[in-house]
Structure 1
Amino acid sequence: MFHDTVLAVVLAAGSVGLFLYSDSAWLEPGGLPIDGMRGADPFGAVLVALVCAPVAVRRRWPLAGLCAGLVPETLLTALGYGAGAAAVAGLVLLYSVASYRGLAMALGALLLSFLAYALGGAVTPITGRNWSEHLVVLIVLLAVWGAGRSLRLRRAYLEELKDRAARLERASAADTRAARAEERSRIARELHDVVAHHVSVMTVQAAAARRVLASDPDLAREALSAIEHTGRMAMTEMRNIVGVLRTDARAELGPQPGMQDLPALVEQMREAGLATRLSVEGDARPIPAGVDLAAYRLIQEGLTNSLRHAGPGAKAVVTVRHDPRELDVRVEDDGRGAASLSGQPGHGLVGIRERVALYGGILSIGPRPGGGFEVRARFPLKDSP
């Protein structure tokens, strides 16, 4: 890297300059030359430069650079030269190995530094050094190595924090997408239930009005009034559902339909031409809101299918049985049954399956043994007393 090359050049220039021109650095405190110290010469200057050169590759090949730098540094000591500022290059390389490589390689680099220092000290002609000087060198090597390891651990910790934050962000985005998909599915089910039911009722009533328009205007007028009333109800429910999608206006909030609205639903189906009877068994008890809405939508979808497919003169029976631990709802008719259905199941039945499965219920849809069609679901009431 460019910065490492610049650092290597600066270290080499400074170390060679001090080696050649600072003779006072090799004097004892009393001003006498150190015993065994070899004077500066071009060969020693080359060795000093070679000690600093590997700094240029300290990040790319830190261990190789350290080994390459320890060889001339050990020669300097073994031949009696003073390493001077060139020793800083060795510390930089040791720090780089500890900072950029794993623990095993970093420990190997520290051991190599100890061995090189011990080897140079064992064969050097320089005398007069005591154990305190060696201890200081060992402490400096350990401190530099520890600083490099500390930086590596801190860098790894920060990377882990960044990675964890990225994973949490991705998980949050996935949860948001799942929540949006679930909400879209819920709204689609609600829209289908509202539109399919009311439009089916309006279609049947419009067909009846057309047939009696000339022969019985009063009956046709009643059918048209029922169509108008059903259309207004459909628009009101759709406005409530679509209102939650608006960001610039508050939705018109209102209670969701439930089992308490079954008499009105049955009466509506009678007015549409489907003879419908409601049978309630057992003692009514509080039902969870989700189950209440799901059961109502199931009955609504079942009656809508009976109105559309059972044929003229068909009768439908809605049975609601309240058990202590279960809510059993059933819609059955005596019409044409499965013979009138073809192709894949409609979106309404798919939505009903999803609703029942959401609350752990059991759904059965199919023709009755004696003719007709049946839609039945049993919802567990786990929270019931």
Structure 2
Amino acid sequence: MTRTGEEVAAGRGGPWWWERWRGAALDLGLGFASAVECGVEGTKFARDAGIPLWAGVVFGVLAGSVLVVRHKWPIAVVLVAIAITPAQMGFLMGLVGLYTLAATELPRRIIGSLAGMSLVGMLVVTFVRLKQGPATGANLNVGDWAVPVVSIAAALGVTAPPVLLGLYVGARRRLMESLRERADSLERELQLLAERAEERAEWARGEERTRIAREMHDVVAHRVSLMVVHAAALQAVARKDPEKAVRNAALVGDMGRQALTELREMLGVLRSGGERTGAMGAAGVTGAAGAPPLAAVSAAAAAAASRAVEEGEGPCLADVEELVGQSAAAGMVVALSVDGEVRTYLAEIEQTAFRVVQEALTNVHKHAAGAKTYVRLAHRAEEIAMQVENEPPPEVLSAGAARLPSGGNGLVGMRERVVALGGVFVSGPTEAGGFRVSAVIPLRG
């Protein structure tokens, strides 16, 4: 099983230059074996060189112990092995040193030069020993052509295998490190993508919460405002004019039922969207091996919140006349004027235009009860414009009107709706002391 770069780095903790204790133990063991080998071979070297036996042994032990630093200074190990080759010492050191050198990341020209020097040294030593063979053994009868052939074969057999094996192991190690770095990079990228997906999902959830709150505000505020106005009128005329009180009570009931109907439709859309969200979440878990399908949840929530608009189930411009009539029935003096050729638009445009007029009339009920109000719609070639303007409210009616709470989000919600469709929204007091709300929505599709 391949380990990541962080796991490899965490596993490093050997002494001195070793990355692991296991590597230190291996090098110490090889150094000990090489010292013993060179010490034993040092006795024959001492006899041939005519020096004390102990000197040859000490020389061999010291030379063989150099193998301990093969990972720290591989070039030094190979040079020492080449240097003691004429003394017929360091066979193990030469093999391990060449392998270690070839497995490092040193330039190939350095590896090739040292391997060539070792090959030449071994070739010369083997050639000399074979040439001296007939002088020491009278029965040895070897042709002149066999000496160089055997020498070359012996030199290649001792030099080529460790070099080739070292090159292979080094290339494989570099490949594994490259794959490990790539895996770490991919893991970091996946983590970054997951964080971005979480941020996008959180942003989408916030947008949907804002949108749902705006829809709830539009549905509830207008109907309840009218109900409060009618309830106040009902209380005022209950004893003086029972018939008018009955009519106001009927209007209150109708508006309450309309509010409940719109709320029920909206909650039905959210409930069906939640069911589709659960199905998509289950599919995401099955397909992604337990990963949370944040993008699928956000997409399903957005689809659930906007399905009513896409299917045209919400209010439209044709309902503006009824909306104005309800305000007139509540005692508001309101006039509706329509300019241009009446036609149908995209569902989201009609719903936005309706909500702007609805919220503007709701604000008149809240803040300017009894004020005369003008609602204007203009159907143009490339856009649709709407304006709701009220005059200053009569002081008597304003003082005696039922006080309606205001959350301060009506104008913000209207502006968000219009701007989301690329339109322009303007609101503010008029010079006469009233208030005006204007919006222009460009046509699309």
TM-score range, shorter chain: 0.7 to 0.9
| Counterpart in the other structure of 2:347 | 289
Query: Are positions 1:216 and 2:273 aligned together?
Result: no
Q: Tell me, what secondary structure is at the counterpart of 1:126?
A: helix
**Cα distance, 1:164 vs structure 2:** 2.0
d(CA) in 1 for partners of 2:177, 2:226:
73
1:104-183 matches, cutoff 5 A? 106-108=105-107, 110=108, 112-114=110-112, 116-117=114-115, 126-128=125-127, 130=152, 132=156, 139-183=164-208
Q: Tell me, what secondary structure is at the counterpart of 1:84?
A: helix
Query: Given the two structures, how large is their TM-score scaled by the length of structure 2?
Result: 0.67
Q: Tell me, what secondary structure is at the counterpart of 2:20?
A: helix
2:392–2:433 Cα contact (<8 Å) kept: yes
d(CA) in 1 for partners of 2:62, 2:25:
13
d(CA) in 2 for partners of 1:303, 1:317:
10
d(CA) in 2 for partners of 1:323, 1:15:
95
| Counterpart in the other structure of 1:359 | 421
**Cα distance, 1:22 vs structure 2:** 10
**Cα distance, 1:269 vs structure 2:** 1.0
d(CA) in 1 for partners of 2:20, 2:317:
78
Greater Rg by CA: 2
Amino acid at match of 1:303: L
2:428–2:436 Cα contact (<8 Å) kept: yes
Query: Are positions 1:266 and 2:324 aligned together?
Result: yes
| Counterpart in the other structure of 1:32 | none
Q: Tell me, what secondary structure is at the counterpart of 1:214?
A: coil
Q: Residues 321, 269 of structure 1: CA spacing in aligned structure 2 closer, same or farther, 3 A cutoff?
A: same
| Counterpart in the other structure of 1:193 | 218
User: Which of 152-161 and 364-373 deviates more?
Assistant: 364-373
Q: Residues 48, 231 of structure 1: CA spacing in aligned structure 2 closer, same or farther, 3 A cutoff?
A: farther
2:115–2:163 Cα contact (<8 Å) kept: no
**Cα distance, 1:292 vs structure 2:** 1.7
| Counterpart in the other structure of 1:4 | 20
Name the structure where helix makes up a greater proportion of residues.
Answer: 2
Q: Residues 225, 345 of structure 1: CA spacing in aligned structure 2 closer, same or farther, 3 A cutoff?
A: closer
Q: Tell me, what secondary structure is at the counterpart of 2:125?
A: coil
2:324–2:336 Cα contact (<8 Å) kept: yes
Calculate percent identity across the aligned residue pairs. Answer: 30
Q: CA RMSD in A?
A: 3.8
Offset from partner CA, 1:91-111 (integer Å, 9 cap, x none): 45764x5xxxxxxxx355x55
Amino acid at match of 2:21: T
Q: Tell me, what secondary structure is at the counterpart of 1:284?
A: coil
Query: Are positions 1:323 and 2:323 aligned together?
Result: no
Amino acid at match of 1:334: E
Structure 2: tracts of 5 or more residues without a match: 1-12, 42-48, 128-150, 278-303, 400-405
User: Which of 320-329 and 3-12 deviates more?
Assistant: 3-12
Amino acid at match of 2:238: L
Offset from partner CA, 1:50-86 (integer Å, 9 cap, x none): 42456xxxxxxxxxx442x432342122122334267
d(CA) in 1 for partners of 2:377, 2:97:
88
Query: Are positions 1:236 and 2:261 aligned together?
Result: yes
How many residues align? The count is 346
Amino acid at match of 1:328: A
Q: Residues 118, 297 of structure 1: CA spacing in aligned structure 2 closer, same or farther, 3 A cutoff?
A: same
Query: Given the two structures, how large is their TM-score scaled by the length of structure 1?
Result: 0.76
Q: Residues 83, 262 of structure 1: CA spacing in aligned structure 2 closer, same or farther, 3 A cutoff?
A: farther
**Cα distance, 1:41 vs structure 2:** 4.3
Query: Are positions 1:44 and 2:60 aligned together?
Result: yes
User: Which of 346-355 and 132-141 deviates more?
Assistant: 132-141
1:201–1:272 Cα contact (<8 Å) kept: yes
| Counterpart in the other structure of 1:306 | 364
Amino acid at match of 1:7: G
Q: Tell me, what secondary structure is at the counterpart of 1:182?
A: helix
Amino acid at match of 1:287: Y
Q: Tell me, what secondary structure is at the counterpart of 1:256?
A: coil
Which of 77, 85, 103 pairs up with 2:82?
A: 77
Offset from partner CA, 1:177-234 (integer Å, 9 cap, x none): 1111110010010111112111211111111111112211221222122112212222
d(CA) in 2 for partners of 1:245, 1:89:
74
Amino acid at match of 2:377: V
Amino acid at match of 2:354: Y
Structure 1: tracts of 5 or more residues without a match: 26-35, 55-64, 98-105
User: Which of 279-288 and 193-202 deviates more?
Assistant: 279-288
